[in-house]
């Protein structure tokens, strides 16, 4: 079962081109799913539709195995979310804000100090939320989302406004929620280096179209297989001959050797061949195939 599954999801705003085109989102239960795309790509619109915050125009949405249109109230009791700007009562303290939501969710009152501790706001005291920094507001918004112990957590830019230490704490918190409580988490973010450290699965959207969806490792391995391996050794001319004899398609450019279509296992075999032939390897790289490079290559941005 998927925590979120959409079929044929298409949406347009009045008098405009579609902002979403046939989105088929599949978020596995138990995953941490990074939903990535440039500004205006359709990330927030997709998440708002998945939460029932926008009217469904075309397609189908299932959340935790149930149709959203017919079961929204029951479904939302199992979902926590923070979309766009944190929605808080600025004249109330963190505890008072959570008391409002505790009444709505009808969850135990002891959950309030528990979630405040989880998000690092135990010492916020009686300070009104309106006087919080943006990072503190993000933490309080996450506390609201966690209050009723949801099975599915949907977060739009959860690290917005956090300092580097706060970003690491947020990553550790989300990882622990997923690992220890089995919470499925969907994270929309532009901080690609942080997403790469956090997620298990990735969806890349651009101009309203889903370009890729699947495990993060599958995306990286697929790109590695098609990327050119860059090699520099103590004797490149001899290395080129040895690689040809071993069946690798290699070429020399600018004093370095480029080998196309090498898998991670193939790279290990290539390196072993050259080292056992007495060559020293000074460089063996894949030319920047991390998530950030892959993202920019796929979206053209």
CATH number where 58 lies: 3.40.50.300
167 with 77, same domain: the answer is yes
Identity of the highest mean pLDDT range in 140-149, 225-234, 285-294: 140-149
243 with 108, same domain: the answer is no
Residue 259's pLDDT band, with cuts at 50, 70 and 90, is confident
For residue 204, the cross-strand partners are 36, 212
Domain that holds residue 277: 228-285
129 with 158, same domain: the answer is yes
Question: DSSP states of 35-56 as a string?
Answer: EE--TTSSHHHHHHHHTTSS--
pLDDT tens profile 28-83: 999 999 998 888 889 999 999 999 999 999 999 999 999 998 888 899 999 999 98
98 with 167, same domain: the answer is yes
Return the ∠ at Cα 299 (arms to 294 and 301), rounded to 5°. 95
**Between β-strands 201-206 and 229-233, what pairing exists: parallel, antiparallel or unpaired?**
unpaired
259 with 110, same domain: the answer is no
In a domain, residue 116? The reply is yes
34 with 129, same domain: the answer is yes
In a domain, residue 241? The reply is yes
113 with 164, same domain: the answer is yes
**What pTM does this model have?**
0.78
In a domain, residue 294? The reply is no
In a domain, residue 220? The reply is no
210 with 233, same domain: the answer is no
167 with 241, same domain: the answer is no
Number of domains in the chain: 2
Please give the structure tokens belonging to residue 145. Answer: 């989302």
In a domain, residue 82? The reply is yes
Q: Give the pLDDT of residue 86.
A: 65
130 with 13, same domain: the answer is yes
184 with 256, same domain: the answer is no
How large is the average pLDDT for residues 164-182?
A: 91
Q: Give the pLDDT of residue 31.
A: 97
pLDDT tens profile 110-132: 999 999 999 989 988 788 999 99
80 with 141, same domain: the answer is yes
In a domain, residue 296? The reply is no
For the chain, give the percent of residues with pLDDT over 70: 92
Choosing from 214, 240, 274, the residue where a domain stops is 214
Distance from C-alpha of 111 to C-alpha of 99, rounded to nearest angstrom:
10
Distance from C-alpha of 140 to C-alpha of 160, rounded to nearest angstrom:
13
CATH code assigned at 256 = 3.30.70
Count the alpha carbons within 13 Å of 202 in the hemisphere toward its beta carbon. 26
Distance from C-alpha of 152 to C-alpha of 182, rounded to nearest angstrom:
9
Residue 243's pLDDT band, with cuts at 50, 70 and 90, is very high
Distances (CA, A) of 133 to 89, 128, 129, 156: 14, 11, 9, 18
For the chain, give the percent of residues with pLDDT over 90: 59
Question: What is the average pLDDT value for the chain, to the nearest integer?
Answer: 88
């Amino acid at each position: 079962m998927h925590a979120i599954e959409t079929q044929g999801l298409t949406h347009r705003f009045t008098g405009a081109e579609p902002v979403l085109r046939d989105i088929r989102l599949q978020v596995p239960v138990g995953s941490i799913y990074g939903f990535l795309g440039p500004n205006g790509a359709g990330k927030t619109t997709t998440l708002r539709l998945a939460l029932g915050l926008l009217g469904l125009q075309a397609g189908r949405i299932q959340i935790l195995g149930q149709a959203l249109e017919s079961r929204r109230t029951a479904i939302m009791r199992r979902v926590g979310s923070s979309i766009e700007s944190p929605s808080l009562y600025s004249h109330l303290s963190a505890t008072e804000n959570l008391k409002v939501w505790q009444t709505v969710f009808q969850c135990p009152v002891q959950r309030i100090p528990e979630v405040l501790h989880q998000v690092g706001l135990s010492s916020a005291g009686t300070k009104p939320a309106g006087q919080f920094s943006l990072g503190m507001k993000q933490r309080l918004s996450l506390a609201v989302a966690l209050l009723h112990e949801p099975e599915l957590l949907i977060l739009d830019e959860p690290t917005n406004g956090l300092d580097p230490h706060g970003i690491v704490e947020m990553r550790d918190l989300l990882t622990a929620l997923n690992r220890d409580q089995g919470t499925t988490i969907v994270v929309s973010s532009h901080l690609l280096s942080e997403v790469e450290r956090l997620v298990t699965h990735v969806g890349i959207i651009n101009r309203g179209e889903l370009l890729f969806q699947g495990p993060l490792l599958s995306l990286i391995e697929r790109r590695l297989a098609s990327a050119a391996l860059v090699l520099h050794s103590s004797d490149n001319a001899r290395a080129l001959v040895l690689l040809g004899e071993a069946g690798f398609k290699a070429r020399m450019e600018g004093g370095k050797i480029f080998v196309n279509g090498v898998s991670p296992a193939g790279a290990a075999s290539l390196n072993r061949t050259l080292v056992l032939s007495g060559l020293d390897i000074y460089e063996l790289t894949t030319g920047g195939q991390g998530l950030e490079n892959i993202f920019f290559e796929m979206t053209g941005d």
